[in-house]
């Protein structure tokens, strides 16, 4: 089935929705990492002493075979599973998202599906098919991979590695290189590295109240 908009366009619609999903865990910011920006001394100083969770995220674009079709196809490319595997080794989870829309302007109100690919290993692309209602909500799902519910996503993220800002920026810088399995080339456009750059979501973990810290210390001493 053909696509009708790009992954970058999908990112713009999905990122705010994923931020809302993650808000119970703390302050959330989506990022496209740029060296010498998020990892400057000023950035480090402004976030010194704070703790974070980090998530890698890939937007997927829906595919339809005709205008206004209520049958939507999605695909998670096999290369993304390699990224997820490398991210897991660094202690962060990887998710994908897709809007169940058959029109580029309906992305905001269409239902979105989220997929946890952190533990999945596949050497092939994984496709799935959705039948949607006239309100663009999910009616029927068919595929090897199953959508993750909100509580499962929050649980997964809350149990992920706790990082300081130096570790956050290190992972964002290194993950695309670690996950790149293309043949080295002197021509940048022949490398697949740039295609494996996810959107990152950093979650600033709220500081525990002093009363909670005293209770925690008491429990440890006991």
Q: How many domains does the chain have?
A: 1
Q: Is residue 80 part of a domain?
A: yes
Termini Cα distance of the chain: 62
Boundaries of domain holding 134: 7-221
* pTM of the predicted structure, to 2 decimals: 0.86
Q: Tell me the backbone φ, ψ of residue 192, rounded to 5 degrees.
A: -90, -5
Distance (Å, whole) CA 170 – CA 157: 19
Q: What gap in Å lies between CA 172 and CA 200, rounded to an integer?
A: 8
Q: Is there a domain that residue 182 lies in?
A: yes
| CA separation, residue 172 to residues 24, 80, 105 (Å) | 23, 15, 31
Asked if residue 1 belongs to a domain, the reply is no
| pLDDT value at residue 221 | 52
37-47 pLDDT per residue, tens: 666 656 667 77
Q: Quote the CA–CA distance of 218 and 212 in Å, as a whole number.
A: 10
The whole-number pLDDT of residue 195 equals 60
CB atoms within 10 A of CB 172: 23
* 57, 156 contact by CB (below 8 A): no
Distance (Å, rounded) from C-alpha 215 to C-alpha 176? Answer: 41
Residue 2 lies in a domain: no
Tell me what the mean pLDDT of segment 124-138 comes to: 96
Which pLDDT band, with edges at 50, 70 and 90, does 188 fall under?
Answer: very low
Is 94 part of any domain? yes
Q: What is the pLDDT of residues 57-102, one digit of tens each?
A: 999 999 999 999 999 999 999 999 999 999 999 999 999 999 999 9
């Amino acid at each position: 089935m053909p696509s009708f908009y790009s992954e970058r366009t999908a990112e713009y619609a999905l990122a705010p929705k994923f931020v809302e999903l993650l808000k119970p865990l703390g302050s959330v910011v989506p990022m496209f990492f740029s060296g010498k920006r998020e990892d400057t001394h000023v950035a480090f100083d402004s976030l010194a002493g704070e703790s974070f969770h980090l998530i890698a995220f890939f937007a997927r674009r829906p595919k339809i075979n005709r205008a206004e079709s209520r049958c939507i196809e999605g695909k998670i490319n096999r290369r993304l599973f390699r990224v997820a595997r490398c991210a897991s080794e660094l202690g962060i989870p990887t998710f994908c998202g897709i809007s169940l829309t058959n029109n580029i302007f309906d992305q905001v109100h269409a239902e979105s599906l989220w997929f946890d690919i952190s533990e999945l290993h596949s050497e092939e692309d994984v496709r799935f098919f959705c039948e949607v209602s006239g309100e663009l909500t999910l009616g029927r799902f068919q595929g090897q991979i199953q959508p993750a519910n909100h509580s499962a996503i929050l649980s997964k993220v809350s149990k992920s590695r706790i990082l300081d800002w130096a570790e956050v920026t290190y992972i964002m810088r290194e993950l695309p290189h670690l996950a790149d399995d293309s043949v080295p080339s002197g021509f940048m456009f022949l490398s697949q590295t740039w295609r494996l750059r996810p959107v990152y979501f950093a979650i600033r973990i709220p500081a525990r109240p002093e009363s909670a810290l005293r209770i925690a210390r008491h429990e440890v001493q006991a």
